Amino acid sequence: MDGGGVDLSMNKIIAAVAAALLTAGLSPAAVAATSAPSPTGNAHILLTADRTQGETEKVDIVWLDCPGRTEVGHPYKEDACKALDAADGDFDALRGEPQGFCTTEYAPVTLTARGTYKGRTIDWSKTYSNNCEAVRDTGAVFWF
């Protein structure tokens, strides 16, 4: 096999990997953007929200680093960190917005949190009937 054949094979591999990422809903840029920032405080947690929208799935990923740098990560970091502190890092104890009303639409959302909070390992996951219920129950922590 000459050098041209190797290049063609490599191009096929790269194209296949890119197609797989796009099929999974993750662009190569999105995967690169999820690399972990350096831990800087009480919480260093990777949050994901796997949302079903119609017949497609959308995965959102963000780092919550408390107190952390303000220029990267969670778009509502201050509110999310306050909510997490109020629950002492217990995702099942997040207060959310209990007065909120949601429809009975079934569009499952699975939220996950993996990382550390004040030295404790966090490995939490919960599936909700829809995005409204997920945000209502978890509040600012999953506002992304």
Domains and CATH numbers, the chain: 1-33 (no CATH), 34-142 (3.30.350.10)
Phi, psi of 126 (to 5 degrees): -155, 140
Residue 125 pLDDT > 80: yes
Per-residue confidence (pLDDT) for residue 57, from 0 to 100:
83
How, if at all, do strands 120-128 and 109-117 pair?
antiparallel
Q: Which residue has the tokens 């922590």?
A: 141
- Distance separating alpha carbons of residues 105 and 36, to the nearest angstrom: 34
- The predicted-structure confidence for 5-60, as pLDDT tens digits, reads as follows 433 343 333 344 444 444 444 443 444 344 444 444 689 999 999 987 777 788 99
- Rounded to 5°, the CA angle 62-133-139 comes to 50
Q: Decide if 108 contacts 130 (C-beta within 8 A).
A: yes
